């Protein structure tokens, strides 16, 4: 799937293979999502259901399968993500005035092997809510909400 990513001189189209989203509770992963764009599938791990942390070396990286996406849903998601500047989000969003609270991370894996890491603590990109709606249209879940 194509997604536009700003290059130093120009904007070019690149392929996203997957997006991983994680929410933390008491400094440990609590809710984890894998949005596999390449294979058009959605996976989830919920630590409140399992008694142990997700094991990335096991089958399906320890995620539970949720659903497959249609081509139309994936194309719509990528278009909306581009409009919301998802790939232009900064690497860090931290409000150091709040201790505890909501800690989160996002990893975007590109087809060329590069990876973009974004994380935050009690602070969010300007288009966070718009992207939550974009993720919800794709997956049916509030991916960016804890």
What is the domain partition of the chain in residue ranges?
A: 2-139
Structure confidence at residue 33 (pLDDT):
95
How much is the pTM?
Answer: 0.85
By the 8 A CB rule, do 136 and 128 touch?
Answer: no
Per-residue model confidence as pLDDT tens for the chain (146 residues): 444 444 433 334 558 999 999 998 776 778 999 999 999 999 999 887 876 778 778 888 889 999 999 999 999 999 999 999 998 999 999 998 888 788 999 999 999 999 999 999 999 999 999 999 999 999 999 999 86
């Amino acid at each position: 799937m194509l997604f536009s990513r700003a290059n130093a001189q120009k904007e070019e189209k690149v392929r996203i293979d997957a997006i991983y989203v994680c929410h933390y509770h008491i400094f440990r992963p609590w809710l984890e999502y894998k949005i596999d764009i390449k294979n058009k599938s959605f996976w989830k791990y919920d630590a409140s259901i399992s008694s142990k942390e997700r094991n990335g070396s096991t089958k399906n990286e320890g995620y539970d399968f949720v659903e497959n996406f249609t081509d139309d849903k994936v194309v719509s998601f990528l278009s909306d993500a581009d409009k919301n500047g998802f790939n232009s989000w900064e690497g860090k969003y931290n409000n150091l005035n709040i201790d505890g609270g909501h800690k989160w991370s996002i990893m975007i894996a590109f087809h060329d092997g590069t990876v973009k890491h974004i994380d935050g603590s009690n602070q969010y990109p300007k288009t966070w809510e718009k992207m939550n709606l974009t993720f919800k249209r794709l997956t049916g879940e509030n991916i960016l909400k804890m």
